[in-house]
Amino acid sequence: MEQLNRIEIRGNVGAVRLQVVGNSRVARISVATNYVYKGRDGDPVIETTWHYVSAWEGKNIPDLTTIHKGDKVYVVGRLRSQRYTAADGTERNAYDVLASKLQIIETDEFLQYEF
């Protein structure tokens, strides 16, 4: 049986942190996605989820200095989980996306929601 670990995200960039690791650069980006649905009263409800993305500069990844807060991006990658012990001694899990493709989307191409 073939296994698959793939995630696609289209959303808005929150924070961008650039780092140099050896001879390479990596951007740690937070991306917000929205899920829109109608509540019990019929009014639209927007549920926002934050995703943490690591993008290493190279093939299918643009110049990392061109990514800014508020940009709309399309990310393809794989989901990675990490277990760690917090400062208070509790075991926690963190999930992030390792990007294999990152594209900045023009505003008119971005998905528009209808209520």
Residue pLDDT tens, the chain, 115 long:
789 999 999 999 999 999 999 988 999 999 999 999 999 999 999 999 999 999 998 888 888 889 999 999 999 999 999 999 999 999 999 999 999 999 999 866 555 544 3
- pTM for the whole thing? 0.81
- Rounded Cα–Cα distance for residues 92 and 83 (Å): 6
Distance (Å, whole) CA 105 – CA 111: 10
**Domain range list for the chain:** 7-109
What is the assigned CATH class of domain 7-109?
mainly beta
Q: Which two tokens stand for residue 103?
A: 């594209």
* Positive or negative torsion for Cα 111, 13, 38, 79: positive
Strand 72-85 with 24-38, pairing: unpaired
